[in-house]
């Protein structure tokens, strides 16, 4: 019997329905709006992505805080106390201290649970890229794979999980130190949009630029032809966004027409990631030959 739980954090941007369908546990991360802390639950009980974006558009200061060791430990102990092992698929260490908190907590609590297995994987992923790894892991568990088999698959395949995204407003990337003030100002004036990805160290990297929104979205789609492996028609792809539903729905239909992809899951980018991307972010996730 595969008596283990899959635990992730809310930066994975999985919807409440997907969390239920996949039978995974999600630790809510903390985001901050004008100095007030909120928890990012998958069911958006404290603030919805739409409300969060409205605050951003109104000029609110938004930021995030990583999970601390105590919070990570409590989340794991709640599972262990039920007699289950735990596999943690954590937010990229290149973007947050969350994974390190899980790793430190796991080491601290392990002696109290000598008969239980605790495994922590640094997904080196974010948003629905992390969510897509959780999706594959949960499906493998449902198919009867052991914790060790699932852990190995994630470790072996996480650097094949492609993250490609663009943003509509460079100023949020400037606030996060991802682009310079001059680049943000000039890019905004000239309608230049960055095309970015998450690299093998789990860092957010600007790769190229596109002139205008439509060109930047097409650049994301073109990455499928360049990188997708296995056949994109056989894959499940995820798209996440902030305040861009009509555009990503059109993008999904375009991908289906071009590549034959049958299943594309769309969800909002939550406040934890959205604090750093701002409104108008679109991100595409799929398996590839490399990132």
**Weakest-pLDDT range from 11-25, 153-167, 206-220:** 206-220
Average pLDDT over residues 246-267: 98
Fold identical between 4-158 and 160-287?
Answer: no
pLDDT of 255 > 90? The answer is: yes
- Predicted local distance difference test score (pLDDT) of residue 80: 98
Asked whether 186 and 192 are in contact (CB, 8 A), the reply is yes
pLDDT of 184 > 90? The answer is: no
Q: Which CATH architecture has domain 160-287?
A: 2-Layer Sandwich (3.30)
Q: What is the reported pTM?
A: 0.95
**Distance (Å, rounded) from C-alpha 123 to C-alpha 125?**
5
Question: What's the pLDDT tens digit per position in 219-229?
Answer: 999 999 999 99
Question: What's the pLDDT tens digit per position in 94-112?
Answer: 999 999 999 999 999 999 9
- Predicted local distance difference test score (pLDDT) of residue 272: 94
Query: What is the residue-wise DSSP string for 239-269?
Result: EEESS-HHHHHHHHHHHHHHH---EEEEEE-
Looking at per-residue pLDDT, the higher value among 143 and 208 belongs to: 143
Q: DSSP assignment, residue 212?
A: S
**pLDDT tier, 279 (very low <50, low <70, confident <90, very high otherwise):** very high
Q: What is the overall mean pLDDT for the chain? A: 94
Q: Residue 82: CB partners within 8 Å, gap ≥ 6? A: none
| 4-158 CATH, one of 3.40.50.10170, 3.90.226.10, 3.30.360.10, 3.40.50.300 | 3.40.50.10170
Question: What's the pLDDT tens digit per position in 51-70?
Answer: 999 999 999 999 998 899 99
Q: Residue 187: CB partners within 8 Å, gap ≥ 6? A: 170, 179, 193, 194, 209
- Orientation of helix 69-80 relative to helix 98-109, angle to 10°: 50
Average pLDDT over residues 29-46: 97
Can you give the residue ranges of every domain in the chain?
4-158, 160-287
């Amino acid at each position: 019997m595969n008596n283990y739980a899959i635990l992730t954090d809310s930066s994975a941007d999985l919807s409440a329905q997907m969390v239920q369908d996949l039978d995974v546990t999600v630790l809510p991360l903390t985001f901050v709006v004008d100095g007030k802390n909120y928890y990012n639950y998958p069911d958006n009980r404290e603030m919805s992505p739409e409300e969060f974006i409205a605050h951003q558009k109104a000029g609110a200061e938004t930021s995030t805080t990583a999970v601390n060791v105590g919070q990570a430990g409590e989340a794991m102990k709640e599972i262990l106390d039920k007699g289950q092992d735990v596999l943690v698929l954590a937010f990229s260490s290149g973007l947050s201290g969350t994974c390190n908190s899980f790793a430190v907590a796991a080491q601290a609590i392990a002696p109290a649970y000598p008969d239980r297995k605790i495994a922590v994987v640094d997904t080196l992923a974010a948003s629905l890229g992390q969510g897509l790894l959780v999706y594959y892991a949960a499906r493998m568990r449902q198919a009867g794979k052991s914790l060790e088999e699932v852990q190995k698959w994630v470790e072996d395949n996480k650097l094949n999980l492609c993250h490609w995204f663009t943003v509509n407003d460079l100023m949020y990337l400037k606030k996060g130190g991802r682009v310079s003030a001059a680049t943000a100002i000039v890019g905004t004036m000239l309608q230049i949009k960055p095309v970015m990805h998450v690299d093998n160290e789990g860092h957010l990297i600007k790769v190229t630029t596109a002139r205008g929104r439509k060109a930047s979205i097409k650049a994301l789609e073109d990455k499928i032809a360049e990188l997708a492996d296995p056949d994109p028609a056989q894959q499940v792809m995820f798209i996440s966004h902030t305040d861009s539903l009509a555009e990503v729905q059109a993008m999904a239909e375009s991908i289906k027409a071009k590549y034959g992809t049958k299943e594309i899951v769309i969800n909002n980018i939550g406040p934890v990631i959205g604090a750093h991307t701002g409104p108008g972010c679109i991100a595409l996730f799929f398996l590839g030959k490399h990132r």
